[in-house]
A and B are shown apart, each in its own frame.
Chain A
């Protein structure tokens, strides 16, 4: 925590806005001061005068004044945010939460499963993995979206494909689409990593995570080898507002990244 007052954010300027899909944009920010975050941690982004929302940065983890935040237009604040352009002021608090357990992931076979906008936090994990390839010898990345249009970071795909095993699928293909069609769990059939040994990291909409975890368990991935990132209403970000409580956990502090075994029996985990 860089600031004495935890509610005081760091101002940031939008340097570039990248239109990823019709409803998703990546905002390339320059912060007034550098902020250090680990992949999977989240920040609270202030849209001045409108609201504040939690996002996991999609840029390379580490300490920097530059940060990418990929935002889907779903509510009041993100609606206004989507109208912002280069030069507009925002503000950032954080980072908060635990992030992905990199020490646990290192030197294991990894199966990473992303759905829709869940690709945003996974891009920052991808940067980490590609930059430290020696620590991650075997990685399979599966990414599912509704349509080809909804796919994030389309331009980076060829580059990533060179670095790791990377498969994409869409629920509903277009005529030009040459890759898989169907829900992401279909790709589990021919996955290259050994499901009896691998660690799975799943990030996506709740319904996708629910079915992906169920399917993986059926295929022999035990619940202590499945890692999920939960989305709850995180207002303060540091365990003082109680909004994000899920069972006995503060999702903002104890999470947002959890081992599936710790949260699978909580009644409201996917709601």
Chain B
């Protein structure tokens, strides 16, 4: 669609509270599936994604397959369960999400059930709520709708852990009520043939804190959009990402921090490593500071470490600013190979080249892993990084005894 300056201006005048901003980065939304054409790959929001490998999830693949098995725990005071019928219907769009992609519109319209994690007001969950999603068949396609609801002044960590083989289109809607402290960790540790197309949409309440960590290691194609909007002033969002792409893998992460309220914060840090032929990662960071969003702070950062030849890392930070009255806004993006000087320094202390590389990669991810803030996950991530390194950088190293954990 063509947008003229006039049409934008008139839109702004009509709704000064939440101005409508037209941009190719976030096309207009609709709940009606027919309003969304099947993407061709030429659209800005699809141009990096190899659509052919999506098994039709972006188009018209059936979403009623049974190819995942979910289990979970529910700490005291928290309810976790599958809801259907009117209750499920009432939860569609609860995060304020109006689909701007065909697959999210289809998930909201066609998937009959919703997995609802409900943390009532004032409840502090004693332990993380872990939802294990295990894929059983990569040849069937399915859709999933998940709602994570954090009540006023509640505090909880929800972990979505994806393993096995499946082709899944998922919409995860997160509602963080006023004053709540919510952490959502989504781990994509799929088998090599899995396809995962997902959209995470969070609505962050007044003075609420939201932490979202996207961790992608496995799968043939993983794409996740992690979006945030704000319900009131004082909300804060931390968007973290860690990914490790091997030969042939496509891992794509997009974030969109839509500053819809004043004095809100967003801070995004995504770090990735790539190794092997045709390992491809994409990071697209979008931040929109709307006219109403005075006094906000935002920073987005993406760093990639290219470990071998034949990899491609795309990294695009975008910042759209509609008001000059902001506290701070910035972004950084860097993609590099090993720093020869770092390796020389470590080697000059007797450390072998491969072990030096290993130290550097661990160092690269360490700060980020600590920020995830869930001890059981941190240990697991360190182990997973180690396993990924073993595939390539360290495949010839016999003993790794010298490397100790940081104490």
Q: Do A and B come from one complex?
A: no
B contact residues vs A (CB 8 Å cutoff): none
A contact residues vs B (CB 8 Å cutoff): none
